[in-house]
Each structure stands twice: as structure tokens, then as C-alpha cells.
Amino acid sequence: MYEAGTVLETEHLKKEFRSGKNIVTAVDDISFVLRKGECLGLVGESGSGKSTIAKLITRLTEPTKGRVFLLGKELTGQKRKELRKSCKKIQMVFQLPAESFDPRRTLGDGIGESLRNMGISRRETKKKVDELLISCGLTPEFAGKYPHEVSGGQCQRAAIARALAVKPDILICDEATSALDVTVQKQIAELLLEMKEREKLSIIFISHDLALMQAVCDRVLVLYKGKIIESGTPDKVIQSPKSEYTKQLIDSVL
């Protein structure tokens, strides 16, 4: 049942893929809630199901079983037109920001595309793009730059600005800092925290790095072979891990 303050809920999500004659279960009975203004971490090694969960939430792939609810409304089963409206409320930031922009177009064009598609005039779009760049720690001059002309951290800030353009309720960051150096990771993490507070954003932060989650997340879910094997605050999970797998994750980064 939908509760006030819950922006997203998954119920018994399962995703199976066929590999030759075998059936591979990528996500197995995943249920969780995401609350307004919360940063929820999904942590685990490659192949644990983190990115598949993100694709199921955004309907980039369909679940074998289970349901997804956004603000109390079921996303699974929605038709394309209705889904397009719903999915504006969920935006994604990817691991390699330069690859998420069209290399032939400026960052400003990429950030403003969704605004123009909403019927906003070019003059107003330019103004909003400049405001978004400033809010993400860049100057308006970056609107005229191409993805290859900026650093990875600057490009990721532009990608966050693009995601925020449509005022989403949920931001999904899929390994959004893993391709950046440690100093820039910290800067992007601080930017996400600032946006969470200022915009009252709910964030799903996908990573293999528990130490980074400790700085960003309110709560984490530890995934192993498509299942949630542990959950709690980052401090609780790191200081009192219940599973041997979680201990290994901690040892690999701390």
C-alpha cells in the first residue's frame, strides 16, 4: 500500500535472461522503497544485479515478474504515451558522461533538448540552461563547449544539469563517479548531496564502492547474485557486516 513520503516502491522484482539453453536470473525477488529526499545505495560487484534493477525501474527492460510503483502509481504495464510522462519523473546519470552526450552537439544543446521538447522557447531554454550549469558548479560558457573539450568531472556536472532540467523526483546514478579520479569523485558526491537537499531529490546511487556510499547515502542495499543480502545505514553495514560477501566488499575499498 502506498505510504506518504514514498516516491518509489518495487515489489518482488525478478528478471531472467536466456543464455543458450540456460535461464540466468539477474534479479531475484527484489523489494524496497525509496523515500522523498532519501539517497538509497545499491552496492555490489559487477553482475550483482544493480544496473538491471535500474533498467527495470525505468522500463528500459521488462521484469519477468514483479511490479514497480512511482508515487503510488504502477509503472509496469503502462503504455508508451503514459510511460513517457511517468519517466520524466525519473532521470539517469551514467558512468561515462561523454558517451551520453552527442559528440556533434554542444553541452548546452544536450541540456536544453528536453526543455525544447516541452515547447519552451529558445530564449527561455538558454536562460534555464545557464541556470542549471551554474547550479551544478559550472559557468554559462560551458553551454558552448563540446563533450570532448571538457574534463570528465565537468562533463558529469553537465550530465547532472541535463538530468535536472525536467525537475525529476528521482535521480538514478549508475556508477556515475567510477570513471573519475578520487578528488573529482568527492566533488560529484558533494554536488549530489547539495542537490538532494536543495531540490528535495530522491537518489538511487549505484556503485561497487561502500566507502563512497558512506559519504553519500542514507541507506544501502547490498546485492549478491541478484538478491538483497544485507541492508541498513552505511555506518551500520560497514561497522557490523552480517555476510562474508559484505566483509569482502569492505576490505576491498577500506
Q: How does DSSP classify residue 218?
A: S
Domain-located, residue 140: yes
d(CA 182, CA 105): 29
Domain-located, residue 225: no
Residue whose entry in the numeric block shows the C-alpha cell 551520453: 100
Domain-located, residue 86: no
Domain-located, residue 127: yes
Domain-located, residue 158: yes
Domain-located, residue 222: no
Cβ proximity of 163 and 132 under 8 Å:
no
d(CA 154, CA 149): 10
Cβ proximity of 43 and 208 under 8 Å:
yes
3-state SS string over 8-76?
EEEEEEEEEEEECCEEEEEEEEEEEEEECCCEEEEECCCCCCHHHHHHHHCCCCCCCEEEEEECCEECC
Domain-located, residue 90: no
* Cβ-proximal residues to 207 (8 Å cutoff; 6+ apart), any chain: 41, 42, 43, 175, 177, 178, 213
The three three-digit cell numbers of residue 81, written as one number: 504515451
Q: Which of 227, 207, 223 is nearest to 215 (CA)?
A: 207
- pLDDT at res. 2: 52
The three three-digit cell numbers of residue 107, written as one number: 553541452
d(CA 9, CA 33): 4
Cβ proximity of 126 and 134 under 8 Å:
no
Distances (CA, A) of 50 to 34, 208, 220: 15, 9, 12
- pLDDT at res. 47: 87
Three-class secondary structure of residue 178 per DSSP:
coil
Domain-located, residue 238: no
Domain hosting residue 155, numbered range: 97-167
- pLDDT at res. 254: 60
3-state SS string over 92-156?
EECCCHHHHCCCCCCHHHHHHHHHHHCCCCHHHHHHHHHHHHHHCCCCHHHHHCCHHHCCHHHHH
- pLDDT at res. 159: 94
- pLDDT at res. 33: 96
- pLDDT at res. 180: 77
**Total domains present in the chain:** 1
pLDDT in tens, the chain (254 residues): 456 689 999 999 999 998 888 899 999 999 999 999 999 999 998 889 999 999 999 888 899 999 999 988 888 877 777 777 777 899 999 888 888 899 999 999 999 998 998 889 999 999 999 999 999 999 999 999 999 999 999 999 999 999 999 899 999 998 888 777 888 888 888 888 888 888 889 999 998 888 888 888 999 999 999 999 999 999 999 999 999 999 988 887 66
